[in-house]
Structures are given as structure tokens and as C-alpha cells.
């Protein structure tokens, strides 16, 4: 599938570009393409005449507060191309919620070092951090341009068509689900039920991606359970029993945050508390459902949990995802140089039969601590599959066409 991308031109506010240093930070869960955004921002900054020093904050906002900065101009030129294809957060990341006095401390530290541009690569919680920093700078009368660069495999940021990181994670889950399902299909009498638990926090975008390799209705995954829809034990057992009777095996994908009808997370038994922003750290949904199948249906079952592999598998990076991750990094520099602050770069899908994307801007007030659920229009009538509309939306994001497999005739 061919793609074309361009960056929209930002209207230039009255303020002229301020001469000073630029600082880049990475925050939240790392992805396979987050470093491409770092590369895009750093290279764009090197091309700007009004930007002097270019620094990276080690471990996100913690590096700003601790004065732990890396001089990016000192890195060898040949490193940037390699970094573009390196997964995880090269600068180090964090999940740190600012305390009451932190924004003013951070602005004071940036002012002392002559940093006039701050780019923060992250998701919903990172947008909250960036917004508080921008507001503190205004209150302290310091001309600091704060721009967020979107990043999250969860794909749950509002106001943007999609998020860098999602396309690669979606590609991984589509391929991993099909590969794992083929293992079950080869010996359906050995472990006839397979349950795959995926990330995604409170949105079903990643769970949906598991269906992108389906070519026929009967292909696995047979059942997908989204966090937006409560799931009862009775319904789950009836669904699995029906699929097993029809196909001889069942492959199920469940989001780690799926809840029962009382609002209790199925994975509560595997809870590891909460992160700094109060999000529960769950991980027991698949284990719970596997035990349910064994105990109530008498079927052998097992589960797979890709875990961090779905975040940053370098083997499954989407070429489209990597290119767009670099694009939003460059666009953030352009926005900051044009006087924008308190904004996040967005990806805007252009109409037409051939996929193409450009960038836009949105106020951080619309992003901070907000999330976009998986749309009902992308969920099938059964509530356990996706619609063709979702395939049309997601397939351009996973890059090269997904490989096809062959099945030998059974008779």
C-alpha cells in the first residue's frame, strides 16, 4: 500500500522564534518507534538556526527536575540512523506525577539552563505533565514553548486519528495471535482452548488488532473481549462452549482490563497495585478465564501473555508507524519554532482510497488525562469481533501487507 505524508504549515503567532536551547524527554510506556520521534525532533532542531543546544532529559520529567541532561549534539552523526530503528526509550522513561511544587521547580531549572523549547514524547499522562509545565511557565512569565509528541500503543489519545506506536503493536498482535492459534489448531485435542491476554488499558484498540489476519469468519481469534464491554462468567462460558462445539477448538483474545458486570477487573487477582497516575497494574484476566474453562467446561486450556513484546518487538515494526513517529517529532519542532505552546501534534488522515496522513495541532487541555475508547462502530453485532470498517481503518497503519499462510486440505 502506497503512502504519502506531509506536514501542515502552522499559522505563525506574533511571537518570533526565541533563541535558546531545546530539550526533549520521553515518558510513559516505551514503544518500538518512540526513538524515531526523538530522531525526528533532534534532526529538525539541528536544522533550525534559532536553536542552540539540543538536550535529552534522562528519564523524562525526572531528568528535568534532577538536572540529568544529555547533550545530543555531541552524539556521532552515524548514530541517528541506527537510533531510528532501535526500540524502547533510549533516553529512559518514567511514570512520574508532578507534585504541587514540581512545575515551578522544573520551569526554574529550564530558565537557568536557557531552555526555551521543551518537547515531551508520551501519552495521556505525559500530556498532563506538559500542560502543567506550560501553565507554570506562563504564570512565571517565562517564554517556554511546550509541545507534546504523541506516543502510545493503546491508541487512546483523543483528537488524533491514531498514535505512533499503535501500528507496530497492532502488527505484532495480528501476527502473534495467528501464529499462536496455528499451534492450537495443529493439536486441538491437546489444549483445545487458548486465551491470549493483551494490553490496552481501558480501550480495546489492541485487542481489536488481533483480528487483522482473519481471512474467513471461522478463522481465529474466535472471540475478542473488549474492556469497554462488561463480561459475565456465564456469557464467556457459553461463548467458548459454542465455538468449541462448532470448530473443535477456540482461540480467545481478552484485554487485560476487562471487567465483570459489577465493574470488578477479571485480572484483579493478578493486580500489582497502581502506577503514579492511579492506573491499576493488572495481569490476571487470562489466568482467571483459563481456570474458569478448566473448572466449568472440563476442557484443557492455556494462556499466552505477550507482555512487553507487544510494545516494542523490533521484528514487527510497521514502516508506516516508524515514518509517522519521525514525522510528529519534526512537526513538534516546527510548532514550537512558530510560537506554539501547550499543544500536542496530531495525525490527520486525509480522505481518499490511498492512505495518506498529515499533522495538525490540538490544545493539551483536550488530551491531558483523557482517553478515546474503541468505537462501537468497529465492534461486530456479536460484540466479540470487529467490523470491516475497523480493518479499513487499521490495515494502513501496520505497514507492509500482512503475510498470508497456507492450510493443507483436511481430506
Write out the catalytic residue numbers: 154
Query: Which residue bears the cell 503567532?
Result: 13
- By DSSP bridging, strand 115-122 and strand 69-71 are unpaired
Is 301 exposed, middle or buried, given 0-12, 13-18 or 19+ CB atoms closer than 10 A? buried
Crossing angle of the two packed helices 102-112 and 124-139, in degrees rounded to 10: 70
Who contacts 177 (Cβ-Cβ below 8 Å, separation ≥6)? 196, 210, 211, 213, 220, 221, 251, 253
C-alpha grid cell for residue 158? 483523543
Coil, helix or strand at residue 366: helix
- Phi, then psi, of 333 in degrees rounded to 5: -65, -45
Query: Which residue bears the cell 495480528?
Result: 174
- By DSSP bridging, strand 4-7 and strand 356-363 are parallel
Question: Is the distance from CB of 405 to CB of 182 less than 8 angstroms?
Answer: yes
Strand spans (E) along 162-202: 193-198
C-alpha grid cell for residue 161? 486519528
Amino acid at each position: 500500500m502506497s503512502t504519502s505524508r506531509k506536514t501542515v504549515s502552522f499559522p505563525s503567532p506574533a511571537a518570533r522564534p526565541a533563541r535558546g536551547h531545546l530539550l526533549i524527554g520521553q515518558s510513559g510506556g516505551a514503544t518500538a518507534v518512540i526513538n524515531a520521534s526523538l530522531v525526528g525532533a533532534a534532526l529538525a532542531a539541528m536544522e533550525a538556526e534559532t536553536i542552540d543546544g539540543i538536550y535529552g532529559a534522562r528519564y523524562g520529567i525526572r531528568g528535568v527536575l534532577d538536572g540529568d541532561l544529555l547533550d545530543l549534539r555531541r552524539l556521532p552523526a552515524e548514530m541517528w540512523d541506527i537510533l531510528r530503528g532501535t526500540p524502547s526509550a533510549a533516553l529512559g522513561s518514567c511514570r512520574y506525577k508532578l507534585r504541587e511544587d514540581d512545575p515551578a521547580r522544573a520551569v526554574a531549572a529550564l530558565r537557568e539552563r536557557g531552555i526555551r523549547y521543551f518537547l515531551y514524547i508520551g501519552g495521556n499522562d505525559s500530556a498532563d505533565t506538559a500542560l502543567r509545565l506550560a501553565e507554570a511557565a506562563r504564570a512565571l512569565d517565562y517564554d517556554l514553548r511546550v509541545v507534546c509528541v504523541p506516543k502510545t500503543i493503546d491508541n487512546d489519545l483523543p483528537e488524533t486519528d491514531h498514535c505512533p506506536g499503535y501500528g507496530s503493536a497492532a502488527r505484532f498482535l495480528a501476527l502473534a495471535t495467528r501464529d499462536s492459534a496455528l499451534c492450537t489448531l495443529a493439536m486441538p485435542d491437546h489444549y483445545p482452548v487458548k486465551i491470549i491476554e493483551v494490553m490496552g488499558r481501558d480501550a480495546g484498540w489492541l485487542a481489536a488488532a488481533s483480528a487483522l489476519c482473519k481471512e474467513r469468519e471461522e478463522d481465529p481469534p474466535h472471540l475478542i473481549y473488549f474492556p469497554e464491554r462488561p463480561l459475565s462468567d456465564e456469557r464467556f462460558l457459553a461463548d467458548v462452549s459454542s465455538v468449541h462445539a462448532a470448530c473443535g477448538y477456540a482461540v480467545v483474545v481478552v484485554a487485560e482490563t476487562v471487567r465483570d458486570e459489577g465493574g470488578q477487573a477479571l485480572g484483579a487477582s493478578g493486580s500489582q497495585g497502581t502506577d503514579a497516575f492511579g492506573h491499576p497494574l493488572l495481569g490476571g484476566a487470562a489466568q482467571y478465564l483459563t481456570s474458569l474453562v478448566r473448572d466449568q467446561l472440563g476442557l484443557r486450556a492455556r494462556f499466552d501473555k505477550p507482555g512487553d513484546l507487544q510494545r516494542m518487538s523490533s521484528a514487527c515494526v510497521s514502516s508506516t508507524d516508524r515514518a509517522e513517529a519521525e514525522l510528529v517529532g519534526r512537526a513538534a519542532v516546527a510548532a514550537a519554532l512558530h510560537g506554539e505552546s501547550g499543544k500536542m501534534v496530531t495525525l490527520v488522515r486525509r480522505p481518499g482510497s490511498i492512505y495518506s496522513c498529515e499533522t495538525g495541532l490540538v490544545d493539551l487541555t483536550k488530551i491531558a488525562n483523557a482517553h478515546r475508547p474503541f468505537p462501537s462502530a468497529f465492534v461486530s453485532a456479536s460484540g466479540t469481533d470487529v467490523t470491516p470498517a475497523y480493518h479499513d481503518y487499521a490495515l494502513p497503519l501496520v505497514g507492509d501487507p500482512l503475510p498470508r499462510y497456507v492450510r493443507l486440505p483436511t481430506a
